[in-house]
Homo-oligomer: A and B are copies of this chain.
């Protein structure tokens, strides 16, 4: 309630959430385990390097689990951890607010 510094708690959350594709990745993982190539297919716009990077960060924060199967060809599965699921309410809220915001903006688009 007295956020006199930039270490405001909500900013901690923001620091973990922010990243162009993180929320999208987390959202996809809510529907179940995903492989690296599945993400690349689901999200055509992302490059391999960035996909790797964002997944690594989510993993570093304990939100997702990375499981490597020592087979050929390689197989890696990503899944939401229990801790990652604690973000679900926040994701839902952000999703909801974002959709409302879109509809709020739309009327501006119609010029007529």
Task: Given the known inter-chain contacts A6-B43, A6-B45, please indicate yes or no for A12 contacting B90, CB distance below 8 A.
Answer: no
Q: Which of A17-52 contact B (CB under 8 A)?
A: 17-18, 20-21, 23-24, 27-28, 42-43, 45
Q: Is the interface of A mostly helix, strand, loop or mixed?
A: helix
Q: Is A71 part of the contact surface with B, judged by Cβ < 8 Å?
A: no
Docked complex: A76-110 residues within 8 A CB-CB of B: 83, 86-87, 89-91, 93-102, 104
Please determine whether A13 and B89 come into contact, CB atoms closer than 8 angstroms.
no
Interface residues of A, count at CB 8 A: 41
Residues A10 and B98 in contact, CB atoms below 8 Å apart? yes
Of the candidates B3, B11, B18, B86, which one forms a contact with A28 in the assembled complex, judged by CB atoms under 8 Å apart?
B3
User: Chain B residues with Cβ under 8 A from A90's Cβ?
Assistant: 90, 93-94, 97
